[in-house]
Amino acid sequence: MKKMWFVIIVSVISTLLLIGCVSPIEPPVEENVKRIIGTWLNVDQETEHITKIYITEVSNYLSIEEWGKCHPEDCYWEKKLVKKNEIIDGVMEISWTYVEYEVYQEIVLLDDPNGRLKVTTIYSYPSGYQWSIIDDMFKLHK
């Protein structure tokens, strides 16, 4: 009798999966993903580097837009998308590849009462030689 019930249950589940009534369970989105969305300003208002980061939610991705210090207006960097499930413990990694150099960034949501972002930017040549490493701190603009 137990074997018969097992066969029936397996048959029903298999049928439901085949017709799409049961969908795979999506992995939970980290709470950190929700906390990282918004406009972030560099705490150093006199920075010569990144001045602002704008992070929005786009379906299963986060869209990251950045501005760097230029004159007379800040320069817009290329938009990057990061899959939400690639954000581990509030850490995102993005990169840009140009003809003469590469830029790698690690964006970390710090677990502190101020809710800051730490952004480490590494500039390197295609050979791998790193010619600049810059750490910036950002606060959420309210």
Domains of the chain: residue spans and CATH: 31-140 (2.40.128)
Residue 75 CA to residue 94 CA, distance in Å, equals 18
pLDDT band at 133 (very low <50, low <70, confident <90, very high): very high
Q: Please report the pLDDT score of residue 87 as a whole number.
A: 87
Per-residue pLDDT, averaged over 11-15, amounts to: 60
Measuring CA to CA, how many Å separate 29 from each of 49, 114, 117?
31, 22, 19
**Of 11-15, 18-22, 65-69, the least confident:** 18-22
Q: pLDDT of 34-82, one tens digit each?
A: 888 999 999 999 999 999 999 999 999 999 999 999 988 999 988 999 9
| Cβ-contact 80, 74 below 8 angstroms | no
Confidence band (pLDDT; 50, 70, 90) for 9? Answer: low
